[in-house]
Amino acid sequence: MPQPVGGFALKKRYSVFAIAREAARHHLGWERAWASPAPKAKYDAIIVGAGGHGLATAYYLGKNHGVRNVAIIEKGWLGGGNTGRNTTIIRSNYLQDPSAAIYEKSRSLYEGLSQDLNYNVMFSPRGVMMLAQTQHEIRGYQRTAYANKLQGVDTEFISPQRVKELCPIMDIDGPRYPVLGALWQPRGGTARHDAVAWGYARACSDMGMDIIQQCEVTAIHQSQGKVTGVSTTKGEISCDKLGVVVAGHSSVLAGMAGFRLPIESLALQALVSEPIKPCMDVVVMANTVHGYMSQSDKGEMVIGGGTDGFNNYTQRGSFHHIEETVRALVETFPMISRLKMLRQWGGIVDMTGDRSPIISKTPVGNIFVNCGWGTGGFKAIPGSGWAMAELMAKGEPGPLAAEFSMDRFRAGKFIDESVAAGVAH
């Protein structure tokens, strides 16, 4: 491994020439994508949680704000939480202005992310459609389409015939919930979730940041109302600023710092089928029957549904939710009825009362939280990191994060997407 020079490891860029060079020498020259150092005694900023949001926060802290004495500490392994457990859908067709702003920022960052990180995140803007299957949904999505026009988000409400053209395997005349139209975002799509985490990790490591895995935070220390450091399973680490970006475990970390969050942790499941020939080149979300599906590059049908209704930290969900999701999708996509499912998994999502995230200062000075992304965090990774980095660097939220303060629940200034966008994220 190359040694850091002036705080920056000299990583070789990935390129077609690198592939040719390595092919000529039996691929013996590939380096580890990121370093795994022991923690230092002190950092300017510590990010707890090396998932997509935590790594993106660190990356933009370095890139946009020049803060590079940063550690990202992770209880498990990098990208092993919800970043590695979602259905990789990227869209920004939200109703409320603050949501549309941050999700559209995020979607637009995804467009250039592979070039920016020099890591192929396989962003595939294949288009996302959200089916309208009731009169209520038609009105709701038409309203969203108008709102998106005003927000500069490229969406349109399309007819059932257009839905059928875009996704021929769909039965649009289902007996119970026929397809009455759809909200279509042609620039939405999917990306490779692991690559997003790995790409950010590699870029952070290149900037001289320390990614410390298998290091659990056990206590948060403060003095005179400000954070001073954390105790971890790898020792004490001091810091000037602390970013808590831990999704389902946000309440646990907040408890260590002595405050409560308006968050509940629930299990959300997804599943994939055996790989089949390409049959569907768009992402389809059906919020009335509650299921969403896309086809991965490997040919697997990637399926997600709704959360369980009870608090859970087990990363396992209830079987009947799988059954409900699949039952709903079989009616809309009759051809998947005999498809075998390969595997199923669960992640712990952090749900807020208005189903919008929290990017906020906290009652403790210099502790910042980024949580509450609930069932829809993957699409937001670059925008969330961008906004959180600005908040941590300046100590005050920028325009993207301003509305997502945790004080909004006290003030009644909700960003109510649970009603606006349907329950699925």
Write out the residues near other proteins by the rule CB under 8 A: 249, 251-252, 260-265, 308-314, 316, 318-320, 352-353, 409-411
H or E element at residue 99: helix 97-111
Closest approach of other proteins to the CB of residue 51, in Å: 17
Give CA 84 to chain center in angstroms.
9
**Considering only CA atoms, which of 298, 296, 293, 302 is closest in space to residue 272?**
302
Closer residue to other proteins (CB): 296 or 315: 315
Give the integer Cα–Cα distance in Å for 59 and 70: 10
Q: H helices of 258-351, where?
A: 319-332
Closest approach of other proteins to the CB of residue 245, in Å: 17
Closer residue to other proteins (CB): 92 or 250: 250
Closer residue to other proteins (CB): 32 or 320: 320
Give the integer Cα–Cα distance in Å for 94 and 222: 38
Instruction: Name the token pair of 370.
Output: 């980024």
Closest approach of other proteins to the CB of residue 132, in Å: 27
Closest approach of other proteins to the CB of residue 310, in Å: 4
Give the integer Cα–Cα distance in Å for 181 and 162: 8
Closer residue to other proteins (CB): 146 or 319: 319
**What are the residues whose beta carbons fall under 8 Å from the beta carbon of 342, sequence distance 6 or more?**
271, 272, 273, 274, 300
Closer residue to other proteins (CB): 148 or 251: 251
Instruction: Name the token pair of 76.
Output: 């498990």
Closest approach of other proteins to the CB of residue 307, in Å: 11
Instruction: Name the token pair of 336.
Output: 């998947």
Closer residue to other proteins (CB): 228 or 315: 315
Closest approach of other proteins to the CB of residue 396, in Å: 22
